[in-house]
Amino acid sequence: MKRSHRALSTAALGLALTAGLAGCGDGTTGTTAAAPAEAPHIAFLVPSTSLRSLTYDVPNFTVALHERCPTCVVDVQTAADQATQNSQGRQAVTAGAKAVVLVAIDGAQAGDLVNAAKSADVPVVAYDRLVKDVPLDYYVSFDGGAVGKLGAQAILDAAGPDTSGGAVVMLEGDPADNNAGLFAAGAHSVLDGKVAIADERYVAGWSSSQAEVEMTEALKSLGGRKLLGVYTAYDGLAAGALQALDKAGYSGVPITGQDAETAALQRILAGTQTMTVFKDLPAQARATATVVADVLDGKTPQTTGTTDNGSGAVPTVLLQPEAVGKPEITSKVLATGYTTADALCAGAASTLCAQQGIG
């Protein structure tokens, strides 16, 4: 399998998970047999619904952290709700965790966890999702406003200069996720005043099935106007929206997404999805590992700026997303090792890949 030096092979990921992770499940903790008693433990708390966390975030973080701290142990825990995640965080702090990396389920309700860590002088890094109104130590994410701008610009470009008599539908993410608001604000900064918005809906849990329901209802708001495009903040929402459009008899409607999921890339090759916003998730994991390793070494991590979370200016590392359409799949997604040609071109997608010269 060809890959760049910036990405991990499947074998390397498996090794990282086998050698460095302890406990993966609700309320589960543990240590690796080879870890010395004094090994620093890092709690990595993620939502149980986040497939990317165990596919990209945790493995890449673990390998990068071990380069700086070979004895460090990453304790991974998943939860379905914020109350459970808060409890996991408190338990990790009590058990002696040296740092907490937190992918908050509800950024407005995770303060209990952060405050408990603060009281014990344990640093908390908010990973991907900002935690509001508490004294956070660090925040590592992608530029959410830029994500929304890229998707919205793709809609405008596809709609063309004459948007009279038409309108756009917007499907935003989970209202409990601070990122959803950032994406929406970025999209509105591009669309507002340039195109009519027939309907805008937030989709709980970033659910594809719920996106289909919301899209079906949103179509009723067109009032006879042409559907110029569908802005969605996530590839899974795009998949659900496309189901609704197909059932309603629409085809060829420009539609955006985010995360460069393999299924979305295949839809882009097929022409049913216009683009996706690509975020180099392994790079985000490595940046977070650097922050944690610096803190463990007593160093001040380098950041790109600060973010106001309502409690103060949080030292922040923001990475930049990229727009990916059909021409950029090879140069921007496959070239980084984010996914492979074998995975992308599996099954029926093999013909689409051949047409695009991917193999």
User: Tens digits of per-residue pLDDT, 6-41?
Assistant: 333 333 344 344 334 444 444 443 333 444 557 999
What b/e readout covers 31-43, taking b as 16+ CB neighbours within 10 angstroms? eeeebeeebbbbb
With cut-offs at 50, 70 and 90, classify the pLDDT of residue 150. very high
Contacts of 160 (CB under 8 A, 6+ apart): none
Residues 100 and 209 in one domain: no
Residues 104 and 43 in one domain: yes
Residue 4 lies in a domain: no
Residue 2 lies in a domain: no
Answer yes or no: is pLDDT of 1 > 80.
Answer: no
User: Looking at residue 51, what is its pLDDT?
Assistant: 75
Q: Mean of the per-residue pLDDT values for the chain?
A: 90
Residues 258 and 160 in one domain: yes
- How far is the C-alpha of 80 from the C-alpha of 337, rounded, in Å? 30
Residue 150 lies in a domain: yes
Residues 193 and 332 in one domain: yes
- How far is the C-alpha of 50 from the C-alpha of 54, rounded, in Å? 8
- Residue 259: give its domain's CATH number: 3.40.50.2300
Within 13 A of 35's CA, how many CA atoms are on the CB side? 22
With cut-offs at 50, 70 and 90, classify the pLDDT of residue 3. very low
Counted domains in the chain = 2
Range of the domain at 86: 10-136+280-319
Residues 228 and 332 in one domain: yes
Residues 116 and 176 in one domain: no
Q: What is the pTM of this model?
A: 0.84
Residue 3 lies in a domain: no
Mean pLDDT of 211-232: 98
* Contact in structure between 137 and 120 (CB atoms under 8 Å): no
User: Looking at residue 52, what is its pLDDT?
Assistant: 84
Enumerate long-range contacts of 325-333, CB under 8 Å, 24 or more apart. 325/154, 325/268, 325/274, 325/275, 326/268, 326/269, 326/271, 326/356, 328/278, 329/265, 329/268, 329/269, 329/356, 329/358, 330/356, 330/357, 330/358, 332/278, 333/260, 333/265, 333/278
Residue 289 lies in a domain: yes
Residues 80 and 30 in one domain: yes
Rg from Cα positions in the chain: 21
Residues 154 and 65 in one domain: no
Residues 224 and 250 in one domain: yes
Residue 236 lies in a domain: yes
- How far is the C-alpha of 93 from the C-alpha of 113, rounded, in Å? 9
Residues 36 and 22 in one domain: yes
User: Looking at residue 37, what is its pLDDT?
Assistant: 53
Residues 57 and 45 in one domain: yes
Q: What is the pLDDT of residues 113-143, one digit of tens each?
A: 999 999 999 999 999 999 999 999 999 999 9
User: Looking at residue 151, what is its pLDDT?
Assistant: 98
Q: What is the pLDDT of residues 59-92, one digit of tens each?
A: 999 999 999 999 999 999 999 999 999 999 999 9
Residues 16 and 57 in one domain: yes
- How far is the C-alpha of 124 from the C-alpha of 71, rounded, in Å? 20
Q: What is the pLDDT of residues 285-339, one digit of tens each?
A: 999 999 999 999 999 999 999 999 999 999 999 999 999 999 999 999 999 889 9
Answer yes or no: is pLDDT of 48 > 50.
Answer: yes
With cut-offs at 50, 70 and 90, classify the pLDDT of residue 99. very high
